[in-house]
Chains A and B, each alone.
Chain A
Amino acid sequence: MGSSCCYDGTLGGLLTLLARLPAAADLPDSIATQPPVQQGLFSNTVTVETDPELAEQYWQKLHHRLGSAGLTPVRSAFLADHPQKDLLICRYLLLGMQEGRRVSNMLAHPQVSPLLKLAQQVNREAHRYLGFVRFREVTGGFYYAALAPDHRVLLLIAPHFAARFRDQQWVIHDCRHGEGIVFDRHRQQWLLLPMETSAEPEFTPQEEQFQQLWQSYFATLAIEERKNLKLQQSKVPLKVRPWLTEFGR
C-alpha cells in the first residue's frame, strides 16, 4: 500500500523489478528512476538493484509468452519521456504474462490502450524527426545536427540515417536528454553516447552558403494566396523551430 519503487533507468532494471514482484497485485503505486522528491507519509521507497541475469531470464520468459509483436510497443514506450511510462509498461507486461499473445490484440483494454498510445506518440515523434534533423557541416569533416525531442527518439531514428548517409561522418545530438549518436563511416557503425553541450562548433564556409540557399528557396516556395500559418504551426510546432535552418532569423 502506498509504496514506491525506484530503479536505475535501464530496461534491465525495470525487468528486475518485475521479476522480483511477488504477485501481480503487488505493483507499487509509483515507479521512478530517482527517489521521489516528496515522499508520502506512510509510503516507503524501495530501490531495486539491477540484476542482469535475472532481467535476461525474465525477458526470455516475456518473449516466449507475448511474442515479438507483443513486445514491440514496449520498446518504443520505454523511450518515452513520461512520468507514468514505467507503470504503464509494467501493467501491460503483467497483463501479457496472464493473457499471452492475445494481449497485442486487446487494443481497447484499459491496461493496453494507454501503453499503445504512448508508444504511438514516441513513434510519431521519431518519424517527424526523420525530417526535422538538420545537419550542418563542421570544420573537421563531419556533419552535426542538434535537436531537443520530447522523447528519446535517437535509438529509433539512428538506423534510418545510418543507411542513408553512410558515406559521411555525422553526429545527431539530443540536447534535452544529453545523449547523441555518432556514426563512423569507416566501420559503418553508430553508437549512442552521453553528450554534453559545450561551445558552438565551427562551420565551414560552404555551410553558410547552403544555409542561405535553403532559406531563400524555402521563402520562395510559399504561395502568398494560400497563406495558412495555423496549418503550418500545427505541422512545425514552435518548439522544433530553433533547430531548423529555414526558421532561423
Chain B
Amino acid sequence: MNNDLMEKLKILADGAKYDVSCSSSGSSRANNGGIGNAASCGICHSWTSDGRCVSLLKILMTNRCIYDCAYCVNRSSNDTQRVALTPQEVAELTIGFYRRNYIEGLFLSTGVVRSPDYTMELLIEAVRTLRSEYRFNGYIHMKLVPGADPLLVQEAGLLADRISVNLELPTRESLALLAPDKSRDAVVGPMRQVSSLIVTNRAERKQSRKVPRFAPAGQSTQLIVGATPDTDRQIVTLSEQLYQRLDLKRVYYSAFIPVMSDSRLPALPFSPLRREHRLYQADWLLRYYGFSAHELLDETTPNLDSELDPKTGWALRHLELFPVEVNRANYEELLRVPGIGVRSAQRIIRARRQGHLGIDELIRLGVVMKRAQYFVTARGRYAGDIRLESGLLRGRLVEPSQKKVVRQMSLPFETQGADETASAVTGEL
C-alpha cells in the first residue's frame, strides 16, 4: 500500500464514476466460509456530494482504451494519464474496503486494451482471484466488453452477481455518430446472449438446485440522455422492449455531462438532470405500475412533461377514469392514481378488508393526499376542492419551480432605458 496505489485509485475511480449503475440488490449469495454475502434488498453505504449513493467500489481495471467514443473520458484521443491495476490490487482494495463496511461489493469496468477478449480475461482473472483466493461472497457487478468471446461471457456470469453491457445511445444513428468504433450489434449481441443464458440457467436450476447460478442479479444497461436528439418516446419504448424481450433488471439513464468538447456533441448550457429524473419516473411506471410506453408517450407528445410527473400527466389526459373509489377499485386501478404508490396500494387493499376507508384513514395509510385528493373518492366522498378538469388540476399539481429568483423591484421606465443602453453597447441593436 503506497502513494502509487492512491494515485491509481483516484484516476481509475474518476474514469468509472460516470457509470451510473449503483444497485447492489437482487442477489442473495450466502457466506460459505469466507467473507461477505449479498443482501437481496441492496444496501447503500454513503452518498457523495452530488447525492448519488455509494454502494459498490466502482473502479476501472485500466483506463487505457483502443476506442475513441466521443462522450467518454477514457477515449483514446484524450490526453490523460493512463494506469492499470493488477488483479491482486483490485482484490486487496475490495477486501480492505469491505471489511470496514465501506462498500457492499465491487463494480468492475475497464477500458479496452489490445482486444476485447484479452480485456475480458483480465476482468475475469481479477474477479476469480476475489472469489476463490479471498473467498469473497459479496456482490460483484462486472462489465462485459462488447465483442468478447461468448465463452468468456459465460464465465463472467458464473462469477459475478450482475453483468452488464452499456447500450450508451438509444438509436443506431446516434451510436454511429458518437461511437464510430462500436456497432449496435456488437452491444446488443452479448445482451441477447446473456439474456438467453439467464433463461436457460433458470430452467436448469428448476431441475436441480446444484446447478451454479448464472448472474443471479440479472443484467442491466445504461443510456446517455441528451447527447443526441433522440426523443423520450424513443428512449422509453426502447427500455420497454429491453425489459420485455431481454428481461433486463434495470436500464439506467445518465444525463449527458460534457466531459470533453467535441464538435459532434451538443453544447448544452446545463445538463438535462430534470429530464433524467422524469425518465426514471417513467421507467418505474413501466416496471412496477403496469404502464406501457405508448400510454405515457405518443406521436403528439414525444417528450415527457418537465413540470409534471409522468403518472400525473397520464391521469390528466384520462380524467374519464377518475375519480376512483378506494374501497372498490382493484389493485391495478389504485396503482394508477397519482399519489398512491405500490406500498400504499397494498396497504389500502389490506386495510379495507377490515372496514371501509375514509379520507382520514387514507392519510394514516401514507397516501400522498396532495396529489391523490383530486383523483379519489372515499366512502363516496370526493376529497378535492375543485372540479375534475384538466386545466384547473394542472395548475394545482404542477410542482413549484425549485428556486425562487429574488429580484429587486424597479421602476419600469428605468429598466427600459437601461436595457436599451445595454443593447446598444453590446451591438445588439
**Which residues from chain A sit less than 8 Å from chain B, CB to CB?**
102, 105-110, 113, 127, 130-137, 143, 145, 160-161, 163-168, 206, 209-210, 212-214, 216-218, 220-232, 235-236, 244-246
Contact = CB atoms under 8 A, between A and B. Distances in A.
Nearest to A209: B1
Interface string B348-359: 001101110100
B365 interface: yes
Interface stretch (B51-59, B196-204, B316-324): B51-59
B46 A210 contact: no
A218 B350 contact: no
Contact of A220 (B10, B96, B101): B10
B13 to A, nearest CB: 5
A73 to B, nearest CB: 13
Contacts of A246: 46, 102
A235 B1 contact: no
Contact of B97 (A165, A214, A220): A214
A246 B45 CA distance: 11
Could you say which of B10, B51, B97, B255 has the most chain A C-beta atoms within 10 Å of its C-beta? B51
Nearest to A167: B35
Task: Give the interface residue-count category, chain B.
Answer: 35 or more
B9 A216 contact: yes
Contacts of A212: 6
A164 B31 contact: yes
Given A164-B31, A223-B257, A226-B50, A134 B100 contact: yes
B9 A131 contact: no
B364 interface: yes
A88 to B, nearest CB: 14
Contacts, number: 155
Interface in B257-286: 257, 271, 273
Could you say which of B97, B102, B365 has the most chain A C-beta atoms within 10 Å of its C-beta? B102
The DSSP consensus for interface residues of chain A is helix
B100 A220 contact: no
- Which are the 3 A-B pairs with shortest beta-carbon distances? A231-B51, A108-B361, A226-B50
Given A127-B41, A164-B36, A227-B49, 9 more contacts: A106-B354, A108-B360, A108-B365, A131-B101, A132-B45, A220-B9, A221-B54, A246-B46, A246-B102
Interface in B29-84: 30-31, 34-37, 39, 41, 43-55, 57-58
Contacts of A168: 35, 99
A137 B99 CA distance: 9
Interface in B12-35: 13-14, 17-18, 30-31, 34-35
A232 B97 CA distance: 21
Interface string B292-333: 000000000000000000000000000000000000000000
A34 to B, nearest CB: 31
A136 B97 CA distance: 10
B31 A134 contact: no
